[in-house]
Amino acid sequence: MDMNALPALGTFLDPLALAIVGGGTLAGAVLRTASGDLARGVAALAVLPRRRFDAEELVVQVAALTRIARRHGVIALDRSKIEDPDVAAAVTAIVDGADPQDVGTLLEQRRCTRFERHRGAWELWSGAAELAPAMGMVGTLLGLVGMFAAMKDPQAIGGAMAVALLATLYGALLANLVLLPIATRLKRRARHEAQERLRLQPGLVALAGLEPNSGRIKEIAA
């Protein structure tokens, strides 16, 4: 294969086609997305290089909290340092006297709320993936209009044809190689975290079933 026969890389670069596809996709994504989901979708890019959520350390922490509660009473958990917001919220509810059913409902609500926030983030990128090919078609139509308007000027026809063809190319590449992979990875991470957080529920529900002051009662009885 003759490498000299291949077109130069600069042949595939057209600022106008890039502006139409990139600018149109960005504008459409902003217009169709709530501001909160827009911010979360952009911020979610930072989590892609990180490890997926693993609940194992939190499961171990819940087991340790259960041992403390059995020795000193559930009230003793009020002094525990807990970084995970779901575990912290559940322990606070337990200390305040919530029963196992209430704790289970609280954890389920928080899990669903977090999943919906994650959904808003990945839908930003999946929506942009839908918009990019459409913007590529818009660029193609604009390029064709430019071609027909410049039929008497052969030099102008070439530029308009480049816009028409490259806009479609940019839209397809942007959607399938950038936007859709981002959306798919965010969606997969959200589902994984939701499944992992289910592992916390049995231990915290069991913890809610302990007597609030069991440790204190044992001391008095002794």
Per-residue pLDDT tens digits for 185-198: 999 999 999 999 99
Question: How many domains is the chain built from?
Answer: 1
User: What pTM was computed for the model?
Assistant: 0.83
Q: Residue 9: inside a domain, yes or no?
A: no
The residue range of the domain holding 115 is 17-23+37-221
Q: Residue 213: inside a domain, yes or no?
A: yes
Mean pLDDT of 145-163: 81
Q: Residue 6: inside a domain, yes or no?
A: no
Residue whose token pair is 């996709």: 25
Q: Residue 5: inside a domain, yes or no?
A: no
The yes-or-no verdict on residue 27 having pLDDT over 80 is yes
Local confidence band at 222 (pLDDT 50, 70, 90 cut-offs): very low
Q: What is the pLDDT of residue 80?
A: 85
Q: Residue 154: inside a domain, yes or no?
A: yes
CA 127, 128, 133, 138 dihedral sign is positive
Q: Where would I find the H helices in 22-153?
A: 24-32, 35-43, 56-72, 85-95, 100-149
Axis-axis angle for helices 56-72, 85-95 (nearest 10): 20
Nearest of 202, 207, 211, 167 to residue 67 by alpha carbon: 207
Q: Residue 172: inside a domain, yes or no?
A: yes
Distance between alpha carbon 154 and the CA centroid of its chain, in Å?
48
The yes-or-no verdict on residue 25 having pLDDT over 80 is yes
